[in-house]
Every structure is written in structure tokens, then in C-alpha cells.
Amino acid sequence: MKAISRREMLLASLAGLSLTASSCKPAAGAKRPNILFIMTDDHSSYAMSCYGSKVNETPHMDRLASEGMRMDRVFATNSICTPSRATILTGKYSHLNGVPVFNRFDGSQPTVAKLLQTAGYHTAMIGKWHLGSNPTGFDYWNILPGQGIYHNPVLYDKDGSQTYPGYVTDVTTDITIDAIKNRPADKPFFVMSHHKAPHRSWEPDEKHRKMFENKHIPEPENLRDDYATRTDAIREQQQSVFRDMTRRDLKLTPPANLEGAARREWLQVKPTEVELEIDGAKKTLKGKELEDWKYQRYMQDYLAVVQSVDDNVGRMLDWLDANGLRENTVVIYTSDQGFFLGEHGMYDKRFMYEESLRMPFLVRWPGTIPAKGTSDAIGINCDFAPTFLDLAGAAVPADMQGRSMVPIWKGTTPADWRDAMYYRYYHDPGDHNTRAHYGIRTATHKLIYFWKKDQWECYDLVADPHEMNNIYSDPKAQDTVAKLKERLYALKKEVKDDDQFANEQPKESSYVEAPPPKKI
């Protein structure tokens, strides 16, 4: 049987959308912009040089920031993958869109994709979906089942699944480019291109792995945070770089005789010592020496995976520019939430601390957004859907809880723009034993309530940007704490959070197996 190239498979999967070459050009007289929304999974803004990274360089993401705007205060309202994706689609908080944890997304509800379809946009969704149900509201979709895999990934569409040879970040970009090439010529497009990377277990391709294998990554100042003044929640978490990384995370090689369940069990062990070959001799690492090695191993893989994303962002921008789509396409780069890169000794997300809460957000719209712009306006992921609708000239439903960011991009932040945001995390007990909490972040302070433990944390973000000193019980801070509590409960009421999920753990069902292979 003749081997089928990745290119041939892409064209086959898009056959129902194929048009003439003229479809690569925007329709004559088109005024509404195309929208390309590029989203990664777990990309910390602290691993982007345009945000001042001390650990890596991201020239292509920097290019987006240089040619458009970098937003410095965009936050996830629930810092975990599936809930954030549901919020982006609906413009609503988790308690209203039905996805507080890893619940199956109800695709029958209104979404921004459906509204853009009605407004005359061609809609497409490519890559990591992770919502437990098939996409609705998209004219074309081709997605990873569940988390997907990094190498030779399986993706599926309405006709079935197929394996794409290569690395998942490259594959996602290839499919995105082909989907735009084959769009209808007479419609603007809204394309969501969602990368798996840099989600755990941070598996780089060989090219990018080699770029970082011998690099020493600077440690964050609070890698060895002792949690003095903090609540029990941070002490009880199980997402510690030093304590909780598994042999699989650290890319340790199992004994050759292990197979099946025994091999998987071996990989899930959290090692307290590791034997390595260093300079031709075997050495056993333990204690601080092992801790240092674990951090370097984690960051080398994480940053290598990010570097592949950056290269593909550049490839995507180059393609748009070369095909006459630069001027009339709004390009957005973000991640579904932030991620810990050793800050407070942690990896993963979930907590309301800044590294987890903040989403990177870059946007380019030539001729409309001035180059090298920045904004410190407080945005939330509920704002994304209203923003897309505003770009399309479509009405924003009254029940969406966000606002369009377009005025901010044009240089005028509305006088009544929010001065604080509300956050709520539910998954307790759950992965990493992160305790449920809600809270408020203003321009200068943060107040967090771990409601199941009835414990509070408060931070002065101006004096203490790394959130090391909990001032909740400080006598000098009591007036500030009281005002923050008042504002917190007002925001809680404003977003209609009535605690419906506070005392029960919603069922998890976000993983979907790929359907049978389709016939090529």
C-alpha cells in the first residue's frame, strides 16, 4: 500500500472544504477582520521574553508583541484547562457554563463559535479541545482526543480519526494553515488553533531538546519558599518540584525487563534518589543535589517544548504575511492559564498566585492596534468571547459576563472598566491536592479565601510582588483586608456565584477516546 504523507492526509481531511486558490485571498471589500486565536496549554508568561523572561527567548512571540499589544493583567477566572476553555467559548464563569472542573461541556448551549457562524464567519477549531464532547458551532474541526500525545498524534474530525506523523505542535500548525487555505472565499474566518504544548509531561522534539539539554536555567528566588506566614493550603499541595515529580516527568528510563502495568507503575514513582551517569561514572543524587537536578530537568524540557511553539508561531505569522492576510487578520496568542516554573517550589497551576492566575496575552491587528503597545487593564477570560463578537460587528448577549477588549487595543480604556477580578477554583480534593478557594485581585492587592479550611491569605502586590508575606493577620492591614472582603463579596454577588458547587465534587468526564480510524 502506498504511504500517505502528512500533507496528503491534511488535504483529505479538508476535502469537504476545498476551494480554488483564490480562497487564499480575502474577499474584495471585506471590512470585518479575520480572527486567528492561538492558544497553548499551561504556558507561563514568565517563559516569554516579551514579558521579561529570565529563562528563555521567544523571538516570534516577541514579534507579535512588537507589532501589536502586550496585555499585562489578563487572568483566568478558574485556573485549570477544561474550565478555562469553557469560559472562553461562553463568556461565562464556571458556575454558569457548567464546567467547574473536568466536566463534559454541554455543546448545546450558546457559544461564541455559534454566534460568529450566525454573523457570517467561517469557523474552525484545530488541536486541543479537552472538553469531553465534540465541538459545536464550527464549520470545520479536527481535534486531539483528551490530552492528546506529543509524537505522531491522533486527531479526529466528524468522519473519524487518523494518525499524523510528526510532532504535535508542527502538526497543529500544518492543519491550521490548510484549514485557512481551504476556507470559503466569501467569508471572514474565525480559527481557534489550540496547541497541546507545553502541557505535562513536557516532551520536546529532538531539535529543541538538544537546544536546552546542557543549559543551566536560573532558579526563581522563591524556589525554596518555606511558606512562612501562609495557610495550610500551600503546605498540603502535591505539585512540588522537589517532592512530586515522577520518574516519567523526569524522563528516567525504566529497567528493560519491565512491561505493561509494572512499567507504568515504575514511571509513576516520585524518586527520592536518582542514579545517573555523569562524566562516565555512576553517581547517586539525593538531597539538595537531587533537588537542583530535578528543577533543571523540568525546566529544560518545559522550555524546549515552548521553543517549538515559538517557532510555529513564527511560521504561522510568516504564512499569513506571505498570503495577503496580514492586514485584515487579528492574531491573538494566549494560554488557557498560567503555570508555575518553580515559583513557591511548584509546577502546575490551580492556585490564585500570580504565576498560575496570569494568562499571557498578545494581539496584532495592523493599522488598528499601534505597535509596541502595552496595557495594564484587568482582563479576564470571560472577555474573549465578547471581544470576538465585537470584532465581527455582532451583538454581545446580555448574559455574557465579560466585555470587549477592543477599545483597550485601540488605546482608550473605558472609564468604567473593571478595577478588580473575581476568581474561584473548585477541584478539592483533586489532582495535586490543591485546596478549593475563591478571591479577588485588584491592581494592588490580592485576597484569597480557602473556604473548606476557613483560612485566608492577603498580599500587597506592590510591596510583595512574589506573594511571600501573608498580611491577613497583620494589625496594620486590617482596614485594607476589610475593604477587600467587602469588595470580594460584592463581586461574588455580581457574577451570580451562589455556591452551588461549594459542597459537592462535580463528576469528571473530560477525557474522550478517539473514534475508529477513517478511510483515506
Q: Where are the domains of the chain?
A: 32-203+302-413, 215-294
- 75: cell is 487572568
The answer, yes or no, to whether residue 18 has pLDDT greater than 60, is no
Q: pLDDT band for position 30 (50/70/90)?
A: very low
CA dihedral 346, 149, 210, 217 (to 10 degrees): -10
The answer, yes or no, to whether residue 184 has pLDDT greater than 90, is yes
- Evaluate whether 361 touches 332 at the Cβ level (below 8 Å): yes
Q: pLDDT band for position 504 (50/70/90)?
A: low
How far apart are the C-alpha atoms of 351 and 433, rounded to whole Å? 11
- Evaluate whether 51 touches 73 at the Cβ level (below 8 Å): no
Q: How many CB atoms lie within 10 A of CB 453?
A: 15
Tell me the Cα Rg of the chain: 23
What is the reported pLDDT for 1?
32
Whether the CA torsion 64, 67, 72, 74 is positive or negative: it is negative
259 vs 26: which has the higher pLDDT: 259
Please give the span between the terminal C-alpha atoms of the chain, in angstroms, as a whole number: 12
Minimum mean pLDDT range among 9-13, 93-97, 290-294, 410-414: 9-13
Strands 420-425 and 379-380: unpaired
- Which pLDDT tens digit goes with each residue over 317-341? 999 999 999 999 999 999 999 999 9
Q: Is the peptide bond before 201 cis (omega within 30 degrees of 0)?
A: yes
6-13 helix and 168-181 helix, angle to the nearest 10 degrees: 50
Q: Is the peptide bond before 407 cis (omega within 30 degrees of 0)?
A: no
Average pLDDT, integer, range 48-56: 98
What is the reported pLDDT for 507?
61
What is the reported pLDDT for 512?
76
- Evaluate whether 357 touches 75 at the Cβ level (below 8 Å): yes
Q: pLDDT band for position 429 (50/70/90)?
A: confident
DSSP assignment letter at 151? B
The CATH number of the domain covering residues in 32-203+302-413: 3.40.720.10
Average pLDDT, integer, range 110-136: 97
Q: What is the mean pLDDT of the chain?
A: 93
How far apart are the C-alpha atoms of 136 and 107, rounded to whole Å? 6
Q: pLDDT band for position 26 (50/70/90)?
A: very low
The answer, yes or no, to whether residue 22 has pLDDT greater than 60, is no
- Evaluate whether 335 touches 360 at the Cβ level (below 8 Å): yes
How far apart are the C-alpha atoms of 50 and 48, rounded to whole Å? 5
- Which pLDDT tens digit goes with each residue over 280-320? 889 999 999 999 999 999 999 999 999 999 999 999 999 99
285 backbone dihedrals φ, ψ, rounded to 5°: -95, 135
How far apart are the C-alpha atoms of 34 and 183, rounded to whole Å? 11
DSSP assignment letter at 358? B
Q: Is 32 exposed, middle or buried (0-12, 13-18, 19+ CB in 10 A)?
A: middle
Closest by CA to 497, choosing from 100, 112, 105, is: 100
What is the reported pLDDT for 520?
61
How far apart are the C-alpha atoms of 303 and 310, rounded to whole Å? 10
Q: What are 34's strand-pairing partners?
A: 329
What is the reported pLDDT for 166?
98
The answer, yes or no, to whether residue 210 has pLDDT greater than 50, is yes
Per DSSP, the residues of 316-329 read HHHHHHHTT-STTE
